[in-house]
Amino acid sequence: MYAFEIERPSTIADAAAALSKEEAQALGGGQTLIPTLKQRLAAPSVLVSLGGIAEMKGVCTADDGALCIGGGTTHATVAAEAAKSYPALAALAGGIGDPAVRNRGTIGGSLANNDPSACYPSAALASGATIVTNTRKIAADDYFQGMFTTALNDGEIITEVRFPVPEKANYQKFVQPASRFALTGVFVAKFADGVRVAVTGASEGGVFRWSEAEAALSKSFSADAIEGLTVSADGMISDMHGSSAYRAHLVKVMTKRAVAAAH
Amino acid sequence: MPKDHGIGASPKRREDVRFLTGKGQYTDDINVHGQTYVHFLRSDVAHAKINKVDTSAASKMPGVVAIFTGEDFAAIGGLPCGWQVTDKHGQPMLEPKHPVLAHGKVRHVGDPIAAVVAETKEQARDAAEAIELDLTELPAVIDMKEAVKGGALVHDDIGSNLCYDWGFVEDNKAAVEEAIKNAAHVTTLELVNNRLVANPMEPRVAVGDYNAATGDHTLYTTSQNPHVIRLLMGAFVLGIPEHKLRVVAPDVGGGFGTKIFHYAEEAFCTFAAKAVGRPVKWTASRSEAFMSDAHGRDHVTKIELALDKDNNFTAVRTETYANMGAYLSTFAPSVPTWLHGTLMAGNYKTPVIYVNVKAVFTTTVPVDAYRGAGRPEATFQLERVIDKAARELGVDPIALRRQNFITQFPYATPVAVEYDTGDYHATMDKLEEIADIKGFAARRKASEAKGRLRGLGVNCYIEACGIAPSNLVGQLGARAGLYESATVRVNATGGIVVMTGSHSHGQGHETTFPQVIAEMIGIDESMVEIVHGDTSKVPMGMGTYGSRSLAVGGSAMVRAAEKVIKKAKKIAAHLLEASDADIELKNGKFTVAGTDKSVDWGGVTLAAYVPHNYPLTDLEPGLEETAFYDPSNFTYPAGAYACEVEVDPETGKVTIERFSAADDFGNIINPMVVDGQVHGGIGQGIGQALLESCVYDANGQLQSGSYMDYAMPRADDLVFYNVDHSCQTPCTHNPLGVKGCGEAGAIGSPPAVVNAVIDALQSAGSKVTHIDMPMSPSRVWAAMNQ
């Protein structure tokens, strides 16, 4: 690590002020950033820890039925506290990394980083979630803009994520054998007005919606409904863990499994 | 009724108390007053000419004590290679210099270019980043078959990337060709034995210290064999006589072979401690471990198995390209040759065998012994080709193996070794029982009912352990003897300390060696303590690798203990006023045969050190003996393994459902410790078969340089193993009748897993005959859809 200053604000306002400094970097749970710093791949002059901001933590249900999760809420907390209200989301959170990661890593940190193999982006996109920041509200469809790229401005903080709760949902993750990130992960969410399918891990463009499957599943919510669809390997990630053709194949397999398992 | 004491009992591992409570003393726990820290600036390119290493700005950085480059080591020796292989034309292998710090060229990602010694680790790293490098990049040399055809040379001065072209047994070559020509059936298989990174839990560490007042050097290091390091580094690299150099390898957190070798960082810390006048410490990061620990395996092989019309094996022929990496690591040349070619007979009475091995330099990390070292590569190709032959011929794979088993012992193979004992039908019988082979059909049906393909893979293995007879390995090119030593020191009040040249880095010697002494004397194990890992305390020993500790080190300990007992009987005879020949030792008591006259162990040991009533004219006081044991042959553990897998046909994901191992290790000292050794080996074997893969791209960049991409087996990748070692044909030539168990699991398991996956796929009509390891989901899926 290179030397850096650290600030520990206790309010969102103080955090925003601290992040306005030059080369300041927000620190969520640190599950990506700390290893990056240790490898000297980043050199922020100030780290602004969001871990001490109480108003950014916790899980609750809003009047409109949406599940509201503070940006600083850990995966372990989501796994425990969303289990009844949004079991598919809780199960996704409970399957991220290992217990050490889940007890430190946060939903805001994951969405801000937007790793193309992370789990949370698929849930946010498939649920049609709203990303709430200290300055505005961003629809998930507008938020994800390619791998490691989001609509966030410099210094903008994810304070809350609001998830409309679907009638049925499920997340299926096929893990990369080493990292156990998603080699391909599919989140399927069935709402009264249609089905949304979001895919993570597979595309060079990061998380994406599989619109053909959404259309077919909105007509008939069954695994058979997408049997005739194919996924193009164009633009899919190809690496030592799987070819683009393999990932394209997995998109369909995991989607079918998610539909079959959705409840 | 299982024994609760001595040989055959399973006392819990006494060393685990300190390991599990954080009281272990590892090399990184050692801090010497005034120590400095070194950071190595490593090459981030695979191959380049070094034009200039400018340290002028870096040397002015805060906390910098000194900076060294390859120039500082140009005049001294390189890291030596401990084994010289002679090629098929009778010429010695090509042996390039392996400098402590790269000089002239860098030859792999991770090759150390400069070393910064500073007050803190971070200051050393900061300064290393300020070193200005002027490099001219050269083409990477990655593909072995291309490398030997010409093109870029890893070492310009030796003129070739081919280290040696070895034929074994060259005199059999024509007979093998003839047998293959006349065969009723020949099965051919081309395969890759994947490159692995050993990944012991503890990364390598070195602390060098120098006492200017006495001229004594001390190196604390993570080694499996501190005396070997003392000899290699002292005599060949730094020119320090052994009496002025102490090497200590304290608690070591796993080795698996990769901590056998002498590494540049050890030589550097020892050298630099004197040069800067302060202790110098280096602790590898995990990233450094990936790019500087010797890797394992990495063979590309073609094997042919010839059979007659009755399915008897008539010949085996192999051609292997073995990756040496950029430099010859300490024992690298021996692995694909004498530790591999000599095992190509396996458990079978194949009359003629020819093995060809081309060892190749590439711009990758050096490759050397990793758990099994050559024997897994031999077993894998042989057991895979037999399985393929059985499928081609439509015969039962177990029956084909049984038909060709060696049944008469001793058995001289056509590849220069003589198996002393074994009973391969017995281990196969045991395997069929514990693996419930008969129940497989029902289990397959149950798997198919839930949409999974189920496969059963069976194989045998044999290994040559207890390395090794010194006179034999000397003829084969070893530049060291491979005996072992022990001193048994009996204290006045009867307690015993055994100083052993074997080194425990997970094997449990501190528990099992006392069981042997306790059995011999008839005292409690708690009266025996083991000391190892310090050249200032232990007689010259060769360390632990090749499943040799008990067979060789244990035998030395037995010989020393026999000398102690012989002398103790003389003392007892004197005390009891009887003849030596009439003294019996049982349950810690010396008795005059046929009488009730006796003296206990403590009475004799006290007399040895307080010799008031003692035969001083005939016998020296004291009770301490040393023995060196050099085995007369290798030992030959053998066994049969079975694996059952399920394959998800939609994703290609393989899961291990059952794994059974029937091993013959000869006599067993501690069955629980043996179980643990086998479990660990199987875990690593399954890791190789399904998960682990060290990958370089065409530019020589290490793609699997961290746990984000290098898949280590986790607990949920494995199953509860069914392990049995009740089949015991004791070794005939060592005093304990033991064979060694440390590597068996890693040798025997990979072919079982691959055979099972092929069986599963073929059960659904697939024509797939082979999938290279690791059989990742993507590879299995690709094979199913090719």
pLDDT digits (tens, 9 = 90+) for A97-113: 999 999 999 999 999 99
Whether B290 and chain A come into contact, CB under 8 Å, resolves to: no
Q: How far is B647 from chain A (nearest CA, A)?
A: 14
Whether A243 and chain B come into contact, CB under 8 Å, resolves to: yes
Model confidence pLDDT, tens digit, residues B33-71: 999 999 999 999 999 999 999 999 999 999 999 999 999
Computed over every residue of chain B, the mean pLDDT equals 97
Does residue B756 share a domain with residue B620?
no
Q: What is the ipTM of this complex?
A: 0.96
Does residue B446 share a domain with residue B396?
yes
Are B707 and A1 inside 8 Å of each other by CB? Answer: no
Q: Which of B716, B724, B713, B714 is nearest to B660 (CA)?
A: B724
Interface with chain A: mutation pick from B717, B778, B780, B781, highest number of A CBs within 10 Å: B778
Does residue B675 share a domain with residue B574?
no
Residue B96 has pLDDT above 60, yes or no: yes
Are B777 and A174 inside 8 Å of each other by CB? Answer: yes
Asked if B748 and B424 count as a contact pair (C-beta separation under 8 A), the reply is: no
At residue B548, φ and ψ (nearest 5 deg) are: -110, -10
B21 — alpha (psi -120 to 50), left (phi > 0) or beta?
A: alpha
Considering chain B, what percentage of its residues have pLDDT values greater than 90? 98
Whether B708 and chain A come into contact, CB under 8 Å, resolves to: yes
From CA B191, how far away is CA B154, in angstroms rounded?
25
Q: How far is B110 from chain A (nearest CA, A)?
A: 15
Which residues face B353 on adjacent strands?
Answer: B316
Residue B299 lies inside a defined structural domain of this protein: yes
Does residue B686 share a domain with residue B651?
yes
Are B712 and A240 inside 8 Å of each other by CB? Answer: no
- What confidence category does residue B5 fall into, taking pLDDT thresholds of 50, 70 and 90? confident
Look up residue B768 and give its two tokens.
């797939």
Residue B438 lies inside a defined structural domain of this protein: yes
Asked if A141 and A125 count as a contact pair (C-beta separation under 8 A), the reply is: yes
pTM beyond 0.90: the answer is yes
User: Which chain B residue has its CA at the smallest distance from A239's CA?
Assistant: B703
Are B711 and A178 inside 8 Å of each other by CB? Answer: yes
Predicted pLDDT of residue B781:
98
Residue B1 has pLDDT above 60, yes or no: no
Tell me whether the omega of the peptide bond preceding residue A261 falls within 30 degrees of 0, making it cis. Answer: no
Residues with Cβ within 8 Å of B716's Cβ and at least 6 positions away in sequence, in order, are none
SS3 A172: strand
The CATH number linked to B663 is 3.30.365.10
Interface with chain A: mutation pick from B39, B288, B291, B651, highest number of A CBs within 10 Å: B651
Are B708 and A178 inside 8 Å of each other by CB? Answer: yes
Are A178 and B122 inside 8 Å of each other by CB? Answer: no
Look up residue A98 and give its two tokens.
């290992």
**Whose structure tokens read 């394992």?**
B296
Asked if B389 and B459 count as a contact pair (C-beta separation under 8 A), the reply is: no
B737 — alpha (psi -120 to 50), left (phi > 0) or beta?
A: left
User: Which chain B residue has its CA at the smallest distance from A3's CA?
Assistant: B122
- What confidence category does residue B786 fall into, taking pLDDT thresholds of 50, 70 and 90? confident
Are A40 and B707 inside 8 Å of each other by CB? Answer: no
SS3 B688: helix
Greatest distance between any 2 Cα atoms in chain B: 86
- Report angle CA B159, B165, B171 to the nearest 5 degrees: 145
Asked if B713 and B775 count as a contact pair (C-beta separation under 8 A), the reply is: no
Considering chain B, what percentage of its residues have pLDDT values greater than 70? 100
Domain boundary among B629, B656, B671: B629
Helices (H) and strands (E) in chain B, counts: 18, 30
Helices (H) and strands (E) in chain A, counts: 10, 12
Residue B732 has pLDDT above 80, yes or no: yes
Residues of chain B in contact with residue A39, where contact means CB-CB under 8 angstroms, are 287
Distance linking the first and last C-alpha atoms of chain B: 55
Predicted pLDDT of residue B77:
87
Does residue B706 share a domain with residue B558?
no
Across B470-477, average pLDDT:
92
Asked if A143 and A150 count as a contact pair (C-beta separation under 8 A), the reply is: yes
Does residue B382 share a domain with residue B303?
yes
Scanning A37-66 for CB atoms below 8 A from B yields: 39-40
**Whose structure tokens read 């410099």?**
A154
User: Which chain A residue has its CA at the smallest distance from B121's CA?
Assistant: A1
**Whose structure tokens read 């290798």?**
B634
Owning domain of residue B617: 483-629
Q: In the CATH hierarchy, which fold is given to the domain comprising A168-261?
A: Enolase-like; domain 1 (3.30.390)
Does residue B51 share a domain with residue B80?
yes
Q: How far is CA A212 from CA A216, A223, A230, B606, in A?
A: 6, 13, 9, 89
From CA B619, how far away is CA B100, in angstroms rounded?
51
Total residue count of chain A as it appears in this document? 263
Q: How far is B367 from chain A (nearest CA, A)?
A: 21
Residues of chain A in contact with residue B708, where contact means CB-CB under 8 angstroms, are 178-179
SS3 B375: helix
Look up residue B697 and give its two tokens.
């791209």
The CATH number linked to B267 is 3.90.1170.50
Look up residue B294 and give its two tokens.
């010797």
Q: Which of B466, B196, B209 is nearest to B339 (CA)?
A: B466
Pairing of strands B528-531, B496-500: parallel
At residue B273, φ and ψ (nearest 5 deg) are: -60, -40
Long-range contacts at B418-423 (CB < 8 A, ≥ 24 apart): B418/B633, B419/B462, B419/B636, B420/B633, B420/B635, B420/B636, B420/B731, B420/B732, B420/B733, B421/B636, B421/B666, B421/B729, B421/B730, B421/B731, B421/B732, B422/B347, B422/B462, B422/B636, B422/B638, B422/B664, B422/B729, B423/B664, B423/B727, B423/B729
Is residue B192 packed enough to be buried (19+ CB in 10 Å), middle (13-18) or exposed (0-12)? middle
**Whose structure tokens read 């290493």?**
B53
Residues of chain A in contact with residue B695, where contact means CB-CB under 8 angstroms, are 240
Residues with Cβ within 8 Å of B775's Cβ and at least 6 positions away in sequence, in order, are B654, B689, B690, B753, B754, B757
Give the per-residue SS3 of B148-172.
CCCCCCCCHHHCCCEEEEEEECHHH
Look up residue A249 and give its two tokens.
């194949």
Computed over every residue of chain A, the mean pLDDT equals 97
Residues with Cβ within 8 Å of B272's Cβ and at least 6 positions away in sequence, in order, are B38, B66, B68, B115, B117, B208, B280
User: Any idea where the domains of chain A sit in the sequence?
Assistant: 5-49, 57-163, 168-261
Does residue B454 share a domain with residue B331?
yes
DSSP states of B97-118: ---SS--SEE-STT-EEEEEEE
Q: Among partner residues A1, A39, A253, which is closest to B651 by beta-carbon distance?
A: A253
Sign of CA dihedral B68, B70, B73, B79: positive
Interface with chain B: mutation pick from A40, A184, A237, A240, highest number of B CBs within 10 Å: A240
Across B276-302, average pLDDT:
98
Is residue B306 packed enough to be buried (19+ CB in 10 Å), middle (13-18) or exposed (0-12)? buried
From CA A176, how far away is CA B541, in angstroms rounded?
44
Scanning B621-660 for CB atoms below 8 A from A yields: 650-651, 653
Whether B712 and chain A come into contact, CB under 8 Å, resolves to: yes
Whether A242 and chain B come into contact, CB under 8 Å, resolves to: yes
Does residue B408 share a domain with residue B328?
yes
Model confidence pLDDT, tens digit, residues B242-254: 999 999 999 999 9
Total residue count of chain B as it appears in this document? 786
Query: Of 3.40.50.1970, 3.50.50.60, 3.30.43.10, 3.40.640.10, which CATH number belongs to A5-49?
Result: 3.30.43.10
Q: Among partner residues A179, A241, A253, which is closest to B776 by beta-carbon distance?
A: A241
Model confidence pLDDT, tens digit, residues A245-256: 999 999 999 999
Whether B169 and chain A come into contact, CB under 8 Å, resolves to: no
Q: How is domain A57-163 classified at the architecture level of CATH?
A: 2-Layer Sandwich (3.30)
Are B695 and A240 inside 8 Å of each other by CB? Answer: yes
Does residue B438 share a domain with residue B369?
yes
Residue B167 lies inside a defined structural domain of this protein: no
Predicted pLDDT of residue B3:
77
From CA A68, how far away is CA A61, in angstroms rounded?
6
- DSSP 8-state symbol, B511: H
Residues of chain A in contact with residue B650, where contact means CB-CB under 8 angstroms, are 253
Whether B777 and chain A come into contact, CB under 8 Å, resolves to: yes
Residue B520 lies inside a defined structural domain of this protein: yes
Predicted pLDDT of residue B11:
95
Q: How far is A207 from chain B (nearest CA, A)?
A: 20
Asked if B278 and B34 count as a contact pair (C-beta separation under 8 A), the reply is: yes
User: Which chain B residue has its CA at the smallest distance from A176's CA?
Assistant: B709
Interface with chain B: mutation pick from A237, A246, A259, highest number of B CBs within 10 Å: A246
Residue B153 lies inside a defined structural domain of this protein: no
Residues with Cβ within 8 Å of B453's Cβ and at least 6 positions away in sequence, in order, are B447, B646, B647, B649, B760, B761, B763, B764
Residue B2 has pLDDT above 70, yes or no: no
Domain boundary among B629, B649, B668: B629
Q: Among partner residues A1, A174, A240, which is closest to B651 by beta-carbon distance?
A: A174
Sign of CA dihedral B474, B477, B480, B485: negative
User: Which chain B residue has its CA at the smallest distance from A254's CA?
Assistant: B651
Asked if A82 and A93 count as a contact pair (C-beta separation under 8 A), the reply is: yes
How many domains are contained in chain B? 3
- What confidence category does residue B468 fall into, taking pLDDT thresholds of 50, 70 and 90? confident
B34 — alpha (psi -120 to 50), left (phi > 0) or beta?
A: left
Are A179 and B712 inside 8 Å of each other by CB? Answer: no
From CA B350, how far away is CA A237, in angstroms rounded?
48
Write the single-letter amino acid at B237. V
Across A185-193, average pLDDT:
98
Does residue B688 share a domain with residue B606?
no
Across B297-326, average pLDDT:
98
Whether B407 and chain A come into contact, CB under 8 Å, resolves to: no
SS3 A226: helix
Whether B711 and chain A come into contact, CB under 8 Å, resolves to: yes
Domain boundary among B292, B313, B344: B292
Does residue B457 share a domain with residue B315?
yes
**Whose structure tokens read 């049984």?**
B402
